[in-house]
A and B are shown apart, each in its own frame.
Chain A
Amino acid sequence: MLAPMPDSAEPRAAMAAPAQGKTRTNDFVVKFANVNGSGSASANGMFARSVMRMGVPVAARNIFPSNIQGLPTWYEVRITEAGHLGRRGGVDLMVAMNPQTWDRDLAEIESGGYLFYDSTKPVPRSRLRDDITVIGVPLTAMCNEAYELPRERQLFKNVIYVGALAALLGIDPEAVKSLIAEDFAGKDRLIKANFEALAMGYGYVTEHLGPIALQVRKADAVGDRIYVEGNQAAALGAVYGGATVCAWYPITPSTSLAEAFTAYCQDLRVDPETGKARYAIVQAEDEIASIGIVVGAGWNGCRAFTATSGPGVSLMTEFIGLSYFAEIPAVIFDVQRGGPSTGMPTRTQQADLLAAAYAGHGDTKHVMLLPADPGECFEMGAQAFDLADRLQTTVFVMLDLDIGMNEWLTKPFTWDDSRRLDRGKVMSHHDLEVATEEFGRYRDVDGDGIPYRTYPGVHPTKGGYFTRGTSRNPYARYSEEGAVYVDNMERLLRKFDTARTMVPAPVIRPAKRKTRDGVLYFGSTAPAMDEALQMLEAQGRYVDAIRVRAFPFAQDIYDFVAAHDRVFVVEQNRDAQLKTLLMTEGGIDAAKIPSVLHYDGTPITARFIAGEIAQRLALSRVEAAE
């Protein structure tokens, strides 16, 4: 370990201990503790991407406050040649740049791990730990010497520590430099200044410290994967899904979805001859108007969507009920955050499932798609529009902050050019002309619960109807007759049953050995679950896994539960919302589907899942033995 430091040291470097222990290559966790608004985010992002440039996968997560400047913020980078894209838990190298959170950051370091800090001001030994290696670089002193302007001192400090980390971890400085050159293309002065800051940090470590036992080595494990935020992927999915109207209201963590849609449309949806827009985006006055615009556009034959989070879904609830009952297509991207109420606006949860599934007064049910990574955000982002048109109802795409606002390594987007947008049962002018029966907007002609619709203005005398949220007969005429009402409500149930056959099927992953235990999960839990299952198998514990990708639940999900003695349901909320849906919709016994719940607002970790499940499996083994 480190030699004892004097209580009041001159600005100096603490010596690293490169030979300590076994070198860990391409498998460790670096966490940056910063103050937000200090420009650290772009430097930290550059650090992560430079590792990827070396062919080593990373999983990065931004843990940030609901604030613009001055509060603690963290950025966790998992360097993982094995491709574990979830959070592992624990930190191997803490880059402690925020005095406010020093103690808790220090406590989080794994025993035998490293602390990197700004050694300009000496830190008393009592504020350090004996079981870790401390690496000090006098960042502030270096900046004060090199730069005049306070803003420069602050910004370049971040680049200097990236340079220092590159030298400590064996990251190719050329990888960082190529990223700087790309990010600041055309701004030569900035490129030069950044190169200099980088060299300053790199040179300091080379001269005074040398590498540590956490090392990045060139590999070929990234493949053709792309690195993208779920919100951006979902927005691109909406472009490919043919969405033309987007109405939204700013709310974290969904804002970047609408902004990405805007940017993609400006790039991909402009008429090349006139320069005019093949889309309309409205930043509405609130979430209610956003969904109102979506419903109006959907009624009139456009593919329309909004992006929001839990508080927005609460506000939109009345319109969602209208969309259900009047049968109007709408797509809502719900990028979930910590609730209830304002909750934890910049933390992640999967806690809107019940609010979305049953949004609205009276008897309502809605389709939800549950993407597990940005690749699925793209696919489901496009598919949602086909489903909304085919089912003539609201379709939710349930992202969360973890997928939505973090860049994930994901398989490249694909599109089959022979694929056609499926507008569902829409009667054209010609269809109305040749129809032999009277048009009835809510008639179940095909027995699947899905009626035929017309767009306004289609025909002078046929197909017109009055849309309303009140009960009506199959010909859209107002009716309060009990039998007529019940008939319509039963048809809507039939339609929901049809939805079950259209939504994405679950993904089943059998264990390597036969087992009576299963685990069921969804959404952003997926990568941590993949790793947790490996950890469990390494311990000789086997569970079959099923990843749910949509609601209403496909029959395969009920069959999976029926085929096991016990199925753990892993969710990132307090009240076991997916389990509630399984019990309510599938009549499953609560005891058969015990919950594993993680809801502190940080993304779930592999260690947490493996630990919880291992403990319960061990417990039941003891019980069985007794």
Chain B
Amino acid sequence: MTYILKPQLHHPKLPTNSLGYTRRDYEGSVSTLCAGCGHDSISAAIIQACFELELPPHRVAKLSGIGCSSKTPDYFLGNSHGFNTVHGRMPSVLTGANLANRDLIYLGVSGDGDSASIGLGQFAHAIRRGVNMLYIVENNGVYGLTKGQFSATSDRGSKSKKGLVNTDAGIDMVSLALQMGATFVGRSFSGDKDQLVPLIKAGLAHKGAAFIDCVSPCVQFNNHVGSTKSFDYVREHNEAVNRLDVITPRDPIEVSYKSGESVRVQQHDGSILSLHKIADLYNPSNRAQALGYLQARQARGQVVTGLLFVDPSAGDLHDAVGTVDTPLNQLNEAELVPGAAALAKLNADLR
């Protein structure tokens, strides 16, 4: 594998955001994934979301584990620091990074192999601690880099490319995230950019543990008849419960939906989530109802997508630990080292 840098030349008339960045400034190096991979669409959606949110690209820290999805942080936000950690352990590394500097935006990118098997424990614990992050699982139901084994999110009864039938129950990351106390939970489909980009924007703006399960078909190993993670299957069984618009504090508020059809939720950073209802009964502010709804639909083979749960007033791990406002990695010597006089007192207590 080679490492390809994209040319730095920009078209002079590319639109810029208020920070003066063009969309190209949010790109990374050239993807080495297979042509048509759903993951590349998610990278493109991340780029779009960051551009539209007008985030300074270097203020985003991107972390991942191991696998096809975990390679993607190289393909977006090329000026950001990234960390391709070890298999299944991105959540703990992200937790530590977040503790060190609360002022950056943390984006964790992982896959179903990385997060639902070896990393299931760390996934659950990072969520239950309320680490302030957006955690995206690029979910294709298959081990791509090792060529086609079932992953733990493969549904029972689905078929592999070689014709094997999966006999284990599939893990639903969305239900798990809800149970672990995630304060923002969404599901989307890599083939639906209109749905995915606002979800990523809202998740990045969310304070607390935000999780998006993004079904992302593997064109090489899991896009055949009999797979429940193929483009065709997901298109046929996709049930979006709502459509989301994210209005940042800078945007003029223009709502395109008639009143009564949409719900407005203001998040901690001032961003407003405008939710256009598709499924009348769906209430994204009720965790228990969301779980019941998801499980009932799942039993019928439906893939429920949209913003499934949000608690706009959630806190995060820093609130729980009670850390100072200054990022811990910027505290100075005087703030950290108690000094010789304090030590003399401590010595006296030990006599």
Contact = CB atoms under 8 A, between A and B. Distances in A.
B103 interface: yes
Interface in A439-477: 454-461, 464-470, 477
A268 B93 contact: no
Nearest to A470: B84
Given A280-B323, A302-B329, A464-B78, A456 B89 contact: no
Nearest to A455: B329
B1 interface: yes
B186 interface: no
Nearest to A240: B337
Given A421-B333, A464-B81, A465-B81, A296 B100 contact: yes
A375 to B, nearest CB: 11
A245 B336 contact: no
Contacts of A271: 324, 335
Interface string B63-107: 100000000011000111111111001011111111111011000
A457 B101 contact: yes
Contact of A292 (B93, B103, B331, B340): B93
B56 interface: yes
A289 B125 contact: yes
A466 B336 CA distance: 29
A456 B324 contact: no
A277 B324 CA distance: 5
Interface stretch (A396-404, A408-416, A487-495, A513-521): A408-416
B9 interface: no
A280 B321 contact: yes
A322 to B, nearest CB: 6
Contact of B99 (A280, A457, A480): A280
Interface string A250-271: 0000000000000000001101
B346 interface: yes
A282 B346 contact: no
B89 A466 contact: no
Q: Is the interface of A mostly helix, strand, loop or mixed?
A: loop
A467 B80 CA distance: 11
A282 B339 CA distance: 25
B331 A415 contact: no
Interface in A10-26: none
Contact of A304 (B83, B100, B125, B323): B100
Interface in A330-346: none
> Chain A, interface size: which category?
35 or more
Contact of B95 (A282, A458, A459, A468): A282
A293 B321 contact: no
Given A279-B328, A292-B93, A421-B337, A468 B78 contact: no
Nearest to B330: A301
B343 A413 contact: yes
A477 B3 contact: yes
B340 A466 contact: no
Contacts of B336: 242, 244, 269, 278, 421
B347 interface: yes
A277 B121 contact: no
B125 A285 contact: yes
Contact of A456 (B56, B101, B351): B101
Nearest to B58: A460
Contacts of A286: 121
Contacts of A480: 1
- Give me the 9 closest cross-chain CB pairs, A-B, nearest first: A296-B96, A292-B92, A456-B81, A301-B329, A293-B96, A300-B100, A296-B93, A297-B96, A302-B100
Interface of A: 224-228, 236, 239-240, 242, 244-245, 247, 268-269, 271, 274-282, 284-286, 288-302, 304, 318-319, 322, 412-417, 420-421, 454-461, 464-470, 477-480
7 contacts: A268-B342, A292-B93, A298-B96, A300-B97, A302-B328, A421-B333, A468-B83
Given A300-B100, A421-B333, A466-B84, 19 more contacts: A226-B350, A242-B333, A269-B336, A271-B324, A275-B322, A276-B324, A278-B323, A278-B335, A292-B122, A293-B93, A293-B96, A295-B93, A296-B100, A302-B329, A456-B58, A456-B104, A458-B58, A460-B79, A461-B79
